[in-house]
Amino acid sequence: MHYRPAAERYQQMEYRRSGRSGLKLPAISLGLWHNFGDTTLVDNSRQLLRHAFDRGITHFDLANNYGPPPGSAEENFGRILREDFHAWRDELIISTKAGYTMWEGPYGDWGSRKYLIASLDQSLKRMGLEYVDIFYHHRPDPETPLEETMRALDHVVRQGKALYAALSNYPAELAEKALAILRDLGTPCLIHQPKYSMFERTPENGLLTVLEREGVGSIAFSPLAGGVLTDRYLQGIPQDSRAASGSQFLKANQLTEEKMEKVRQLNALAEARGQKLSQMALAWVLRGDRVTSVLIGASKTSQIDDAVGMLSQRHFSDDELTRIDEILR
């Protein structure tokens, strides 16, 4: 059926400036790592994207290798974009990345100019786009000179194939060097995408401070720890969950008794705050305003509603923050 976005879509979302740039991102962004490849029915993916946009989520995050198979998330997204969102391209922020293994041989991985530029061209073809809004280097490359990788990002921005350059998975010290190179090239980094959640607090050890000082935004990936920081696994492992899907990134044996005890305690605290654990976990990542956007995944439209519902209950008392630190210790 022909799609028309909800008229009230911009009333429900908060838009936050990415660092000191001109770009605002929704407080909640949707990632297409899972549930957009060829193993998912395209109409399920379509419902997720429509629902997200109807709730004011204007930012969709991809990468060359999302699928499975790699590339298929971009292809399926491109099809949905063409069929449903064509008229709304200027209301969308679309990102993609290169940095992990994408094709065979020495030019399909890591951070060379050769790989990044070829990969972005492939991504644009798969999505049927003339440009992406944000192009990321997906992970640091220990062998390629940092200058070469940053010059490749600067190049694609100057070519107009990406509007902004960005980094992901760079530790604080390396990020600082990369940001300085990009600034000197005249293409300041828009945003950094680290893994950040109650269970993964590494960005608090320097990275968030560097980004704040340098005026660079941050978008936290896996803010729900892949679904662990929700009520999904409180009664066991549901058949339709990521942990049951054979994902190498969330295996059943990672749901240890110790971890689940923390999840139960966090869930009790969330209930006392009158919200779901998933909502408390997202609000916690956004606390203190150092994180621009939380980048969630979703397999159901109700999960998107949960995330948006979080926005009405974002405040934490000092006691609540202390209690969360105690539980996580």
For 46-65, b/e burial (b = at least 16 CB within 10 A) is: bebbbbbbbbbbbbbbbbbb
Give the nearest distance from C-beta 22 to ligand NDP in angstroms. 23
Nearer to ligand NDP, 124 or 191 (CB): 191
| Cβ contacts of 213 within 8 Å, gap of 6 or more | none
Residue 98 CB, nearest approach to ligand NDP (Å): 11
Residue of 75, 80, 119 whose CA lies nearest to 97: 119
Between 71 and 227, CB nearer to ligand NDP: 227
Q: Please provide residue 147's backbone torsions phi and psi, each rounded to the nearest 5 degrees.
A: -60, -40
Closest distance to ligand NDP from the beta carbon of 4 (Å): 26
**Considering beta carbons, is residue 112 or 222 the nearer one to ligand NDP?**
222
Chain positions contacting ligand NDP, by CB under 6 A: 31-34, 61, 138, 168-169, 193, 221-227, 230, 232, 241-242, 278, 295-299, 303, 306
Nearest C-alpha neighbor of 98 from the set 24, 169, 186:
169
Judged by beta carbon, residue 247 or residue 317, the one nearer ligand NDP is 247
Q: Give me 318's structure tokens.
A: 């000092």
Nearer to ligand NDP among residue 159 and residue 312 (C-beta): 312
Query: Which residues lie below 8 Å from residue 132, measured CB to CB, with a gap of 6+?
Result: 94, 95, 96, 120, 123, 124, 161, 162, 163
Angle between helices 172-185 and 146-159 (to 10 degrees): 50
**Minimum distance from residue 223 beta carbon to ligand NDP (Å):** 5
Nearer to ligand NDP, 56 or 226 (CB): 226
> Minimum CB separation from ligand NDP for residue 231, in Å?
6
Give the CA radius of gyration of the chain. 19
What are the structure tokens assigned to 306, written together? 């949960």
State the minimum distance, in angstroms, from the CB of residue 91 to ligand NDP: 19
Nearest CB to ligand NDP, comparing residues 87 and 268? 268
What is the distance between the alpha carbons of residues 271 and 285, in angstroms, rounded to a whole number?
A: 18
* Cα 298 from Cα 45, distance rounded (Å): 10
Question: Minimum distance between the CB of residue 278 and ligand NDP, rounded to whole angstroms?
Answer: 4
